[in-house]
Chain A
Amino acid sequence: MRLSTTADAGGLPSMNLRSAAMEYSTWIILLAMLVVGSLVTPLFLTVANLVDVLQQSAIIGVLAIGQFLVILTGGIDLSVGSVLALSAMLSSLCIRFGLDPLIAMLAATVGCGVFGAGSGIAIAKGNLPPFIVTFAMMAITRGISLTLTSGGPVNLPPSWFLSLGQGLWPEAIWAIVAALIYVLLVKLPIGRHIYASGGNVDAAQVSGINTTKIYVLVYVLSGVCAAIGGFIFAARSTVALPTYGVGYELQTIAACVLGGTDLFGGIGKLSGVVLGVIILTLLSNILDLAGVNPFWNFIAIGLALWISVGFRSRLATKER
């Protein structure tokens, strides 16, 4: 028996403690992290530190939103890290060649969207497994990024583009993307269609939902999110490298999973994903403040994944 959770599962659950724990599990984890963090050092619970955490989460945060949409349909997008690099390279090259940053970003977004559409079409119409398609797409887009400059960097000239990576801009961009996707998922009928396409494909199709269009849409959106992430990354580093984003796809998946998204599709909340990203960043932040060898971060993420998913999984099955 699964709890079916939609984006706006509002209202207090009148269920028992176990269901409540499931429902709010991500908040519970966040709370636990805040408590642990404040115990570790008084520096943790300061505005400066928390804002810093938000800033660091922004790039993965934006990517994770795109990944979330894909996972909701029961798919996966392994190409987000490579598309981020491609977007950084494309936009930076355009800016270097004198294009207005806005045009450059538009061009890069369209480019990445096209790759996303490619993945989506291969998956929806070709019936190919998302894992393989996006894996191949990851290799292809990474290869393109590397070929553009033979592996070399693209230095960004001063322009307003660079400010996108400074100050509160990364978080602001993340918040805007989250807000837009929230509207898409909750207020627009297409949101329900996305959930339906992942939960039960046959039922969705029988109800008249064009699942092919939905699949293509989510992969395009994931590509667009990756593109936006690429802009922030390039702006923040003032240089674009084709090696950006390696391993980011797994971080976004981890964030979605930590946030309660079911890898089989149809279940998950956007708020959970946002919290999941913050939790991941908090993990490394706390370890960093505690002076722990930063390598322990990896072990912590692994343990967090096992514990959170195992916990939820056992909670869910005990519900029978």
Chain B
Amino acid sequence: MSEVNAVATMKLGKLHQKLLNAKLIILALFVVLLGAAQVASHGTFFEVQNILNILAQNSISGSLAVGQTMVILSSGIDLSLGSVTALSSIVAAMLQDHGPLIARSAALGVGLACGLINGMVIVFGRVPPFIATLGMMQAALGVSYVVSNGYPIYEKEHVALAFGLDKLGAVPMIAVLWFLVAVVAWILLRFTRFGAYVYAIGGNERTALTSGVSVARTKLFIYAFSGLCAAIGGIISINRLGYTQPTLGASYTLDSIAPVVLGGTSLFGGVGGVWYTMLGVMVAGTLNNLMVLLGVNIYIVQIVQGVIILSFVFLFIRFQKR
């Protein structure tokens, strides 16, 4: 099963082959990683609670990574996801007295609006995505600070995520939500015309345009979707942490890009998909968890993360050269 859709496959038969190779490599590496984790942690890694912890810990960056995947597939990038997450969570927290429905709808609305603004600046302002979303990152951060006056906002009374439940059986609800987001994104990308357009734009925007793809509308949707993902991340973060503050988003942006890259989606667009990214999130999450279990100095963790990313990307590029 390949994420590359029919149109792209026709044009890039060989790439199809390479994609399968790349996917196998990631899977192989992941299995090795899991094995190493189990051994190194003396069996504590595969305990159910630990696995569930990993899922919960990565729900936020995972949700953001789904949105980021869609953006990167169109050969764009969204640097604003972290700030939009913080902003939407702050908005939700400020409105918590009006009940979860209003608070969360407002958060989603904020995410959607920020995403749409990004899209409009990119499409109508003809500003490159890097700069447009960089601007949004600053603007959303500023608005977060202004609205909250720089202070954290606490959840007065914990509200369950959905249907009065924080867990579905033993599985954290936030992980379920994250997977739902991934499934929705996957369906959009794989089974709809919109999805085909996304890959087409990422592959070659000029060609896509002349082939009749409504590039403008697609791009608006892409960034609106990633904004929505960021808002969902914001809702999850309140549920998980019990509070929110403007600086929350600081690391989330880059945390949303790393899994996409680790999963094999090309930064140049047109290649990759949601499940690749999900694998990337699991790899990153497993690595982190492993290092925590091993008691590795947290500062060394950063160095290791950097080295891992470099190695993975190097491997992918190597394979795409064949």
Task: For residue A149, give the distance in angstroms from its CB to the closest CB of chain B.
Answer: 10
Q: Interface on chain B toward A: helix, strand, loop, or mixed SS?
A: helix
Q: Which one, B25-33, B124-132, B165-173, B192-200, is touching chain A?
A: B124-132
Give a binary string over B84-125; 1 marks a CB under 8 Å from any A CB, 0 the rest.
000000000000000000000000000000000000010001
The residue that B150 contacts in the complex, of A133, A295, A304, A309, with Cβ under 8 A, is A295
Q: Which one, A106-114, A124-132, A187-195, is touching chain B?
A: A124-132
Name the A residues within 8 Å of B306 (CB-CB).
Answer: 135-140, 143
The residue that A147 contacts in the complex, of B138, B268, B300, B307, with Cβ under 8 A, is B300
A41 contacts B by Cβ under 8 Å = no
Asked if B310 and A132 sit within 8 Å, CB to CB, the answer is yes
Name the A residues within 8 Å of B79 (CB-CB).
Answer: 250
Task: For residue B70, give the distance in angstroms from its CB to the closest CB of chain A.
Answer: 18
Asked if A317 and B302 sit within 8 Å, CB to CB, the answer is no
A36 CA to B282 CA in the complex, in Å? 51
Asked if B145 and A135 sit within 8 Å, CB to CB, the answer is no
Task: For residue A255, give the distance in angstroms from its CB to the closest CB of chain B.
Answer: 12
Instruction: Give chain A's interface residue range (CB within 8 Å of chain B).
Output: 35 or more
Name the A residues within 8 Å of B126 (CB-CB).
Answer: 310, 313-314, 317
Asked if B303 and A140 sit within 8 Å, CB to CB, the answer is yes
Name the B residues within 8 Å of A144 (CB-CB).
Answer: 303
A286 contacts B by Cβ under 8 Å = no
Asked if A135 and B142 sit within 8 Å, CB to CB, the answer is no
A121-180, CB < 8 A from B = 122, 126-129, 131-133, 135-140, 142-144, 146-147, 150-151
Name the B residues within 8 Å of A254 (CB-CB).
Answer: 134, 138
The residue that B254 contacts in the complex, of A135, A298, A300, with Cβ under 8 A, is A135
Among residues of B, the one whose C-beta sits closest to the C-beta of A264 is: B128
Task: For residue A144, give the distance in angstroms from its CB to the closest CB of chain B.
Answer: 6
The residue that A135 contacts in the complex, of B121, B143, B297, B309, with Cβ under 8 A, is B309
Task: For residue B177, give the distance in angstroms from its CB to the closest CB of chain A.
Answer: 28
Name the A residues within 8 Å of B258 (CB-CB).
Answer: 135
Name the A residues within 8 Å of B313 (CB-CB).
Answer: 128-129, 132-133, 136
A122 CA to B257 CA in the complex, in Å? 19
B141 contacts A by Cβ under 8 Å = yes
B216-273, CB < 8 A from A = 254, 257-258, 261, 267-268
A300 CA to B258 CA in the complex, in Å? 28
A309 CA to B146 CA in the complex, in Å? 25
Among residues of B, the one whose C-beta sits closest to the C-beta of A304 is: B135
Name the A residues within 8 Å of B297 (CB-CB).
Answer: 147, 150
Among residues of B, the one whose C-beta sits closest to the C-beta of A130 is: B267
The residue that B302 contacts in the complex, of A146, A250, A301, A305, with Cβ under 8 A, is A146
Give a binary string over A281-308; 1 marks a CB under 8 Å from any B CB, 0 the rest.
0000000000001011111111111100
Asked if A143 and B125 sit within 8 Å, CB to CB, the answer is no
Asked if A302 and B303 sit within 8 Å, CB to CB, the answer is no
The residue that A309 contacts in the complex, of B131, B142, B268, with Cβ under 8 A, is B131
Name the B residues within 8 Å of A131 (CB-CB).
Answer: 77, 267
Name the B residues within 8 Å of A136 (CB-CB).
Answer: 305-307, 309-310, 313
Q: Which A residues fall within an 8 A CB radius of B?
A: 122, 126-129, 131-133, 135-140, 142-144, 146-147, 150-151, 250, 253-254, 257, 263, 293, 295-306, 309-310, 313-314, 317
